[in-house]
A and B are shown apart, each in its own frame.
Chain A
Amino acid sequence: MSGTDTTDAPANGRWPESLRSLLGSAGSGGLEAVLLSALALVVAFFLFGVFVTVQGHDPAAVYRTLWLGAFGTRFSIENTLTLAAPIILTAMATLIPARVGLLVIGGEGALIMGGLGAVLAGVALAGLPGLLGIAICCAAGALAGALWLAFAGALKHWRGVNETIATLLLNYIAIAIMLHLVTGPIRDLAVPIKAQSWSIPEAFRMGDIPGWSVHWGLLIGVAVVACVHVLTRHTVTGFSMAILGGNRRAAQMAGLDIGRLTLLACAVGGAAAGLAGAIEVVAVHGAASESLVVGFGYTGILVAFLARQNALAVLLVALIIGGIAASGGLLQRRFGMPDAATDLLQGMIFLCVLASNALAGRLLPGGR
């Protein structure tokens, strides 16, 4: 804890600990991680209950409606799953860079660039067989997202630019680029009421999982999570990332290529978020427009933290958070609540999750 370390260690010597909080309790007991997140959820729900009571609503009724809108009917479950699909993927944009100790919050921008990439590829390649076209659209989206966040990784590595601020700025820039394109250069003039891009060919539209009105993007998301889990936990690259994330100095001593790992983590995370944007285009909207900017990227950050940067846990957490998002409409109709109600609840959960890190190692007997 000396304050004299130079270039790489933080001056205050607090980094390893604050990094561990970035990674959640990834290194320690899984049970404790689950308990901490569950506790945070309970506290956040309690606080939200107090808030809606003050606002003059019956909290029990609000929570019944929340459950109904999230998981209560087949329709709401399908709705939740459809929302969970992009959230799972945008969570990866925060989760993977966190493995190397970076706090990246650029999922929103990468998603938008991915959507644009998918539209451009889809329009250019009209005439290809459907499945191939969908695959290329998705690949183009992933590539666009990967390049977008790799840029932030490069700035971090070669210029020391803070990655959190850079990726947040890139979100705004991505939105501006998208709005510029869909209101001018690639605007579909046949759609007068709304500024949207050209549409991809009908053949490239992704269908639903048979028997469900949930598109295939959900399963793609699950597959990506499985790949990320293997990458982070069962490969040499993943292990190198964990070393870099745990102790930069040790990674340097071990001769790891820090630049390559940094760029790779950002690029893979960006690819996942870009894929989310591509799927939103091929499965939901068919074109790029302001409809892509609904905050999936920001929700993904919360999901990554609530899952304590554990890829498999993201699946469960995305269901919970997706359910909250899905119930927003019903809360609005039943109680006349503003649509920001679910955003507020998400913010409360986020704060509680971070605060719960303080209890790490103290919750269970014999903790670290």
Chain B
Amino acid sequence: MRPLTLRRLVWTCAILALVLLACVVLALKLGAVPISVTDLVWNLGRIAIGQSDQLPTDYRLIVFELRLPRILLGILVGAALSVAGAGFQALLRNPLADPFVLGVSSGAAVGAIIALIAAPSMVLVTPLGAFVGAIATITAVYYLGRRDGQLDSATLLLGGVIAASFLSAVIWFLMTTLASRDLRGMPFWMMGDLSTPLPSGLRWIFTVGLLAGIGAIYTTAADLNLLVTGEREAIHLGVEVTRVKLVVYVSASLLTALAVSASGAIGYVGLLVPHAVRWLFGSDYRLLIPASALGGAIAVVLADTLARTVVAPTELPVGAMTAIAGAPLFIYLLRRRMP
């Protein structure tokens, strides 16, 4: 028997963090404009010793104002979606759950569309509108998913799926009937797009929100191990099931809302990264959560790098890349579950 120890937890996360670092370096290097690694290190060094104004302008522009923020956003979004996915898979007792199954992404899109129509010239109108839409959806689905005063997995799943499809219909209705040219970018955004980085103020808020959300879910990690063996079983093993379900629901939904507001709905990450991590490191949620966060960051950074380079100079939306890689993986996963 090999129970999870603190040592294994720390080592696994350290290794994943190193892999992530390597991916970040790779992502900084690759792109429509080639950058050499030695140049990169040299210039990072220059920044470190405070000589950042000696960098050539276009280099600084490309690497530090375009690629680096994009990579950082990818890390945040990948981590958020993967942890949310792992959380929903436990909450909904369904290995095929992903962060968008409860309609958060559709609600965010509706929010963004309405905001774009109502106040097209407002700064950051898309992320703010999306976030408001997401929160409204989370609240509505919460009330739809209750039974006997607490969240019920099956009811929640059903309520969420219905909300998601309803909101999708609303999206297409709005897109087809509204004249506004401001909506041009919507389909692109909905596919998941990291090319428009957040301003640094919002990025800080996102980082804090991400850490808070992951932290909150992590406090229930041990409980989730019990919850997935059955709700009644978890109650009799001392889990406060009502509280745990609420915490997971709110945290996972908030993480999804943050991710979707910043970058649209990048698919397959929240579904597949937790499974990949389970396959590699086991299903213990105390390891699964931090490992999924790191794994999700790795996945999105790699997918985005591919999206930027595979048909350069045109950029694919990162959601298209994750779909191309993710759909075959998803099919494989499906087949494995059906004997």
Same complex origin of A and B: no
